[in-house]
Amino acid sequence: MKKKIYLAGCGGMLGEAFYRQFKGEFEIKCTDKDVNETWLSYLDFRNFEAYKKDVEKFDPDYLFHLGAYTDLEWCEMNADETYLTNTLCVENAVYIANHLNIPLLYISTAGIFDGKKDLYDDWDQPHPLGVYARSKYMGERFVCENAKRFLVCRAGWMMGAGPSKDKKFIQKLMKLINDGKKELFIVNDRDGTPTYTHDFAKTVKILVLKEYWGLYNCVCDGQTSRLEVAHELLKVIGKENEIKINVVTSEHFSEEYFADRPASERLWTRKLQLRGINSMREWKRSLKEYIDNYYVDFFNKS
């Protein structure tokens, strides 16, 4: 008999990868307040009683709490809503998982660090800069301090799910290119680690099956920058000679992106490596697979 997973907040880019990676080996129930797929059912996990009731009815072996507000500027302007969704609802997920005596998965982020170090391993002390980072870090802390069994997996610069759900850096660049832009303005003062959603979900599956509970950095291999990612993207789509990259600092986008961001969000998958289970691939390889699988019909058709 297949074990059962309840996935809350599964309608976004990460949820799409979890659905595809887990549906074969587990019986899964995927919920979200935005029912944008046939495999999703409605649940707003901000309603604690409805959340608890729906999870109890499914009676899962694992609870995966995926959803969060991730737009940093929106979070800065809507702090109470951010803490309600990104922190208090995580506390509720802990209560539900502990009540059912099942493990809980929580998704954290490289953004909880302040960027003063060049590279962060699993044991470095976070120091969040803004509302989004603080809300995610306090969720992480609550899980680690209160859940009976848990996985906290930190992601870096997320990429996945294609143009319909990807709201991050890769999709923003792809849209500009598809709109006919011949110049891109890319910052040279932001470093990090891309994270392909499918690699992330596969790594979570390994951790779950081996029951290696705890906190893990889960990012693709290879430290990089926004500038290098942009150059590599143009190579992947064969437009490196057609589109010019203008190098700027973050000040260039200060009005649009006014929330504090760390200069370095580079994570090191140290624990995965020490356990000998690091399946996170080199980011350039994952980027190419992502574009090949999700953007084959994108240009001039979006």
DSSP state at residue 281: P
* Cα gap 254→256, rounded to integer Å: 6
What is the model's pLDDT at position 138? 98
What is the model's pLDDT at position 302? 47
Contact 129, 262 (CB under 8 A): yes
pLDDT tens, position by position, for the chain (302 residues)? 899 999 999 999 999 999 999 999 999 999 999 999 999 999 999 999 999 999 999 999 999 999 999 999 999 999 999 999 999 999 999 999 999 999 999 999 999 999 999 999 999 999 999 999 999 999 999 999 999 999 999 999 999 999 999 999 999 999 999 999 999 999 999 999 999 999 999 999 999 999 999 999 999 999 899 999 999 999 999 999 999 999 999 998 988 888 999 999 999 999 999 999 998 999 999 999 999 999 988 765 54
* Cα gap 175→155, rounded to integer Å: 23
- The residue assigned the tokens 């994952």 is 286
Is pTM beyond 0.85? Reply is yes
Radius of gyration over every alpha carbon of the chain, rounded to an integer in angstroms: 19
Residue 82: both structure tokens together: 């951010």
Domains of the chain and any CATH numbers: 4-166+193-223+262-282 (3.40.50.720)
- Which residues, listed in sequence order, are joined to residue 32 by a DSSP beta bridge? 42
**Strand pairing report for 224-225 and 191-192:** antiparallel
Produce one character per residue of 108-132: b if its CB has 16 or more CB atoms within 10 Å, e if not.
Answer: bbbbbbbbeeeebebeeebebbbbb
Handedness of CA 115, 116, 120, 123 (dihedral sign): negative
What is the model's pLDDT at position 254? 86
Q: Considering only CA atoms, which of 37, 279, 72 is closest in space to residue 162? A: 37
* Cα gap 187→226, rounded to integer Å: 6
Determine the residue type at 200: F
Determine the residue type at 67: G
